[in-house]
Structure 1
Amino acid sequence: MSKLTLGAYPHMLGFEQLERLLERSAKSGADGYPPFNIEQTSDHSYRITLAVAGFAESDLSITVEDRQLVIRGRQNDDADGRVFLHRGIAARQFQRMFVLADGVEVGEAVIENGLLHVDLTRAVPEAVVQKINIRKG
């Protein structure tokens, strides 16, 4: 199976950066942790929900870097002095990235009951028609 690139579509001009963003995004969440949902909450808004049980607000960071929403989690391993007979819940770090289209803005982030909700809105661009004059050469 050959890899399909945006370069295979000559009428798609200036989308090289989008292809790089998609490739980086595909690599970032390869292990599937933490699980997440993406829901459309209205015609122009979305909500990403990540299952972050065990993470405190201070363990999480949310940034926008180069048109990517980056959500990171890092827990401190507080097992010092504790004796575990079984340890199935490990302190684990993660990084999830989501590529944002032009006009998508990150809004509020709320953590409740082990779920991190990040709201996004998409601005509706005005339709612009530009007339290009043709001159004789």
Structure 2
Amino acid sequence: MRTTFDLSPLYRSSVGYDRLLDMLDQVNRVEPMTNWPPYNIEKTGDDQYRITMAVAGFSPDEIELVQQENTLFVNGQKHPEPEGVQVLHRGIATRAFKQTFNLADHVKVTGASLENGLLTIELKREVPEELKPHRIEIVSGTGAKALSQDNQPQQIEHEPSKPSKAA
């Protein structure tokens, strides 16, 4: 049984979260068969994440990972069975799959590995220094001098002192 949620109150009280709310709407419209292969999403550090997908029976050359802007595409396509092999029972899924993950801004794939039927994708969020939050000083008074807010260290230059001449 699927439960759907009305997100309209969130739309009325949020500004700038359109992408997040669109993703929540997408979750309400997920088709039942798009949850294969099973996967976990883990937070492994402050800005590090890991996606682990169960892809038993697939080899690294049968899986394609593509990151395009803020979207990670994972596609799997099995090679055809070799001639002369007759499968009497197929318990390991060999159907093709496509999985899409929406990534937050500045999240990049740093590595991927396939071991024991688990595809592990390592991700890291690297926010550029100029986009990180910085504190802004508030000045008051009429004669207050405005301060520079570029968060760069300021160098104060002094005039070199003249050497004194002794007679």
Determine the C-alpha separation between the residues in 2 that align with 1:92 and 1:22: 28
Determine the C-alpha separation between the residues in 2 that align with 1:106 and 1:17: 20
SS state at 1:75 partner: coil
Q: Note the C-alpha offset of 1:90.
A: 4.0
- Mark the structure with the bigger radius of gyration: 2
Q: What letter matches 1:126 in structure 2?
A: K
Contact 1:29–1:97 under 8 Å retained in 2? no
Q: Which residue of 2 aligns with 1:55?
A: 58
Q: Which residue of 2 aligns with 1:114?
A: 117
Aligned-residue CA RMSD in angstroms? Answer: 2.8
- Structure scoring higher RCO (CA < 8 A, sep ≥ 6) equals 1
TM-score of the pair, normalised by structure 1: 0.75
SS state at 2:110 partner: strand
TM-score of the pair, normalised by structure 2: 0.63
Determine the C-alpha separation between the residues in 1 that align with 2:63 and 2:36: 14
Structure 2 residue runs of 5 or longer lacking an equivalent are 138-167
Q: Which residue of 2 aligns with 1:7?
A: 11
Determine the C-alpha separation between the residues in 2 that align with 1:24 and 1:97: 12
Contact 2:111–2:122 under 8 Å retained in 1? yes
Determine the C-alpha separation between the residues in 2 that align with 1:41 and 1:54: 27
Question: CA, structure 1 residues 126+90, in 2 after alignment: closer, same or farther (shift >3 Å)?
Answer: closer
Structure 1 residue runs of 5 or longer lacking an equivalent are 132-137
- Aligned-pair identity in percent equals 36
Compare the two structures and name the one with the higher strand fraction: 1
